[in-house]
């Protein structure tokens, strides 16, 4: 039996992607391993795919072109290491400077700075927001799990960046409604025990899923 089963919309009349955790010791790395094949599964209904099906690779409606990406802490560290940059230089070169001034660590967008020829150049190190994204419906419990993981990780980055003086709290003047929404989510999560799990982890395998399932 696998640690995590992904239950697709092809099963029992289900309309969205769901999951079942079989092992109470499963971690985020286990979830990522089970989740990845969904990108290449043509049975999964993809709203923006060719005739609502197909695989993500090569999609002409590449959502990376307009995505609002605030990385999780582990992805942030991995991307900086891959680029052989210290954190300050990484932020200066790859994050939206206007958002950084206002206290938001958003990657440079339109398209994502890592998107070249419609291909992600940091694919093995990309953020949880990117790893979990499917233009598909999800069942409620599954969606909440993904949501909690992504935002706890992003809030952990914010806490880490402030603690290490990589970013200063910014003024809200000039922020869009989208900016304010994402900033609000980070504030909502920053004081939760879920964020602490990211702060002490070196890799996704160090983060248990169980606290996120409560």
Q: How far is CA 116 from the centre of its chain?
A: 19
φ, ψ of residue 199 to 5 degrees: the values are -65, -30
Identify the three-state secondary structure at position 19: strand
User: Poorest-confidence range of 21-35, 38-52, 134-148, 172-186?
Assistant: 38-52
In tens, the pLDDT along 105-122 reads: 999 998 899 998 888 999
pLDDT (mean) for 49-67:
75
* Model confidence band, residue 136 (pLDDT cutoffs 50, 70, 90): confident
Number of neighbours of residue 214 by Cβ within 10 angstroms: 7
Q: What's the pLDDT score for residue 46?
A: 80
Confidence of residue 164 (pLDDT cuts 50, 70, 90): very high
- Cα of 15 vs its chain's centroid, Å: 23
Torsion 72-76-168-100 (CA) sign: negative
pTM of the model: 0.91
Contact 129, 154 (CB under 8 A): yes
Rg (CA), the chain: 17
Q: DSSP code of 192?
A: S
């Amino acid at each position: 039996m696998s640690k995590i089963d992904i239950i697709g919309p092809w099963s029992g009349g289900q309309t969205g992607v769901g999951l079942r955790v079989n092992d109470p010791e499963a971690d985020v790395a286990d979830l990522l391993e089970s989740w990845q094949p969904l990108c290449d599964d043509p049975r999964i209904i993809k709203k923006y795919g060719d005739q609502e099906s197909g695989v993500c690779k090569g999609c002409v409606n590449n959502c990376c072109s307009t995505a609002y990406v605030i990385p999780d802490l582990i992805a942030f560290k991995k991307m900086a290491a891959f680029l052989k940059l210290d954190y300050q230089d990484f932020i200066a070169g790859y994050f939206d400077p206007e958002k950084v001034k206002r206290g938001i660590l958003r990657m440079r967008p339109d398209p994502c700075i890592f998107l070249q020829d419609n291909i992600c150049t940091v694919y093995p190190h990309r953020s949880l927001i990117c790893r979990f994204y499917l233009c598909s419906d999800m069942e409620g419990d599954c969606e909440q799990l993904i949501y909690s993981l992504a935002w706890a990780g992003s809030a952990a980055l914010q806490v880490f960046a402030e603690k290490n003086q990589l970013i200063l709290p910014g003024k809200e003047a000039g922020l869009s409604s989208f900016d304010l929404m994402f900033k609000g989510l980070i504030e909502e999560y920053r004081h939760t025990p879920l964020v602490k799990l990211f702060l002490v982890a070196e890799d996704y395998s160090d983060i248990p899923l169980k606290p996120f399932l409560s």
